[in-house]
């Protein structure tokens, strides 16, 4: 599973955790999020701006 970080506020989307408050169940791959997915914390950045993080 991968993680992606918002460069504005540091929020991380973790595929293993999903984003249940926005309707994305745990295990939802990044590629399955819509192109207009925005950062749920700051709403400033869009999906294409998120940075992939190195896997642990």
Residue boundaries of the structural domains of the chain: 1-29+41-56
Return the CATH number of the domain spanning residue range 1-29+41-56. 2.20.28.10
> Which of 40, 54, 55, 32 shows the shortest CA–CA distance to 8?
40
Looking at the predicted structure, is the pLDDT value of residue 6 above 80?
yes
Can you give the pLDDT at residue 49? 93
> Which of 43, 45, 44, 17 shows the shortest CA–CA distance to 30?
17
- Let me know: does 30 contact 4? Beta carbons within 8 Å: yes
Handedness of CA 18, 2, 36, 46 (dihedral sign): positive
pLDDT in tens, 22-53: 999 999 999 999 999 999 999 888 899 999 99
The pTM of the whole model exceeds 0.85: yes
């Amino acid at each position: 599973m991968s993680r992606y970080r918002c460069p504005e506020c540091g929020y991380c989307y973790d595929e293993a955790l999903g984003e249940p408050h926005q309707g994305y169940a745990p295990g939802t791959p990044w590629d399955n999020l819509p192109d207009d997915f925005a950062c749920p914390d700051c709403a400033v950045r869009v999906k294409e701006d998120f940075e992939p993080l190195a896997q642990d």
